[in-house]
Structure 1
Amino acid sequence: MADDTTGDVIRRRAIVHGRVQGVGFRFSTEGEADRLGAAGFVRNRADGTVEVEVEGAPSVVDEMLAWLREGPLGAEVTSVEISDEPPVGEAEFRTVH
């Protein structure tokens, strides 16, 4: 992954609303992030949403955010709240339990 001082790495937080728990959302998100080469994490939240932080090249982050707006088969995404976060230099994507 590029050094974040070059401006080539960005990080975004996404809160995904809808039917997104109990449908393999975290597992599928980790698979998609691995496929794209994104870093960060995914976790379920107590309010029924899924939180994702994704870090990488802008094109990778944009592609991951576009995927989150659809989600995996079986999910019903109704909205995604996105906010900017400072890059932290993560090298992999993980599921937080």
Structure 2
Amino acid sequence: MSPNVRLTAWVHGHVQGVGFRWWTRGRAFELSLQGYASNLRDGRVEVVAEGPRESCAKLLELLRGGTTPGRVDLVVERWSDAKENVTGFVER
């Protein structure tokens, strides 16, 4: 059984066109997480990260922490088992 988990976070606010996905990729890289950050049509950014639960929790804390580019109003999270079908961390 894998010790890794998957965090899916939907970030609401003014988070498109401000370097948010680039910033998220940098934080995920620092935490050795795999996954992606993707703009959604409704203005949210979807962040999918896989790795140790502690690292994913730290990324979630950073997403909510007030130091991101743009303005984060709300982050909705979902935790699940890692699917291990992602490599690296990319902006989509």
Q: Residue 62 of structure 1: SS of its match in structure 2? A: helix
Q: Is this contact kept in 1: 2:4–2:50, CA < 8 A?
A: yes
Q: Which runs of 4+ in 1 moved over 4 A?
A: none
Alignment of 1:2-41 (within 5 A): 5-6=1-2, 8-41=3-36
Contiguous gaps of at least 5 residues in structure 1: none
- Greater radius of gyration (CA): 1
- State the TM-score, normalizing by the size of structure 2: 0.89
Alignment deviations for residues 24-60 of structure 1 (CA, whole Å, 9 cap, x no partner): 0011111111111011110000000000001100110
Task: Give yes or no for the alignment of 1:49 onto 2:44.
Answer: yes
Distance verdict in 2 for CA 1:34–1:74, change over 3 Å? closer
Counterpart residue type for residue 25 of structure 2: E
SS in 1 for 2:27: helix
Counterpart pick for 1:61 among 49, 56, 66 = 56
Q: Which residue of 1 aligns with 2:82?
A: 87
CA distance in 2, matches of 1:18, 1:66: 16
Cα distance in 2 between the residues matched to 1:71 and 1:39: 23
Q: 1:73 to 1:52 in 2, by over 3 A?
A: closer
CA displacement at 1:95 relative to structure 2: 1.1
1:67 CA drift (Å): 0.9
Higher strand share: 2
Cα pair distance change 1:41/1:84, threshold 3 Å = same
TM-score of the superposed pair, with normalisation by structure 1: 0.85
Q: How many residues align?
A: 91
